[in-house]
């Protein structure tokens, strides 16, 4: 988990460093998709954890998903719509890394810019599709939703922050 967070932080810093030049190239810096999002890949399943996505100006996309970190590209298809292609490691519990899976999506940002809906497909490496007994090619479609992460100033603390490096201090502060 820590390794995934470090990778995501490094990728995010690369996006921040390259975003101004990339935005100037394709003018996507004003698209309502630009920003950070919490994405629910399966709204019908409340037990499925959400994913984190960053859509940067210039068409760069980064995600932190339960399977790892993914990178990709997005392109505006309209005033509030976009297409996305993401690539992330394909890990099978029995045989490990098998290549990369590819996710493709069409996204429609709400008029207020605070949420979106979309439809996606996923394409697994042939080895994993064979193990699972699935046909080769794109699988889906699947509906998903997203909500924007907005910047907020800190609120009034209700307690001091425990020393997270010392498990005993966490137990003491909760008593």
**Do the beta carbons of residue 55 and residue 71 sit within 8 Å?**
no
Is residue 68 classed exposed, middle or buried when 0-12, 13-18 and 19+ CB atoms within 10 A define those classes? Answer: middle
The whole model's pTM is what?
A: 0.75
What kind and span of H or E run contains 11?
helix 2-26
pLDDT(170) > 90: no
Task: From residue 71, give the alpha-carbon distance in Å to each of 21, 47, 53, 155.
Answer: 18, 25, 10, 33
In the chain, the domains with their CATH numbers are 2-173 (2.40.128)
Tokens of residue 174, six digits? 């909760």
pLDDT of amino acid 29? 62
Q: How confident is the model at residue 162 (pLDDT cuts 50, 70, 90)?
A: confident
Q: Report the sign of the C-alpha dihedral through residues 31, 88, 36, 22, in that order.
A: negative
pLDDT of amino acid 92? 74
Q: How confident is the model at residue 18 (pLDDT cuts 50, 70, 90)?
A: very low
pLDDT of amino acid 67? 72
Over residues 113-146, the pLDDT tens digits come to: 999 999 999 999 988 888 889 999 999 999 999 9
Q: How confident is the model at residue 163 (pLDDT cuts 50, 70, 90)?
A: confident
Over residues 82-118, the pLDDT tens digits come to: 999 999 998 877 778 888 999 999 999 999 999 999 9
pLDDT of amino acid 115? 98
């Amino acid at each position: 988990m820590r390794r995934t967070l470090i990778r995501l932080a490094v990728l995010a810093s690369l996006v921040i460093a390259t975003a101004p030049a990339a935005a100037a190239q394709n003018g996507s810096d004003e698209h309502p998709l630009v920003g950070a999002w919490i994405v629910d890949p399966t709204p019908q399943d409340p037990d499925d954890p959400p994913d984190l996505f960053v859509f940067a100006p210039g068409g760069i996309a980064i995600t932190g998903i339960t399977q790892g970190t993914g990178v990709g590209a997005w392109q505006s298809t309209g005033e509030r719509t976009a297409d996305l292609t993401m690539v992330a490691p394909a890990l099978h519990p029995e045989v490990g890394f098998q290549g990369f899976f590819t996710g493709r999506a069409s996204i429609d940002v709400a008029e207020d810019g605070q949420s979106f809906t979309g439809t996606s497909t996923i394409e697994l490496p042939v080895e994993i599709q064979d193990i699972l007994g699935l046909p080769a090619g794109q699988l889906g479609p699947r509906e998903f939703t997203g909500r924007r992460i907005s910047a907020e100033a800190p609120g009034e603390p209700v307690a001091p922050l425990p020393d997270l490096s010392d498990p005993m201090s966490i137990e003491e502060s909760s008593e």
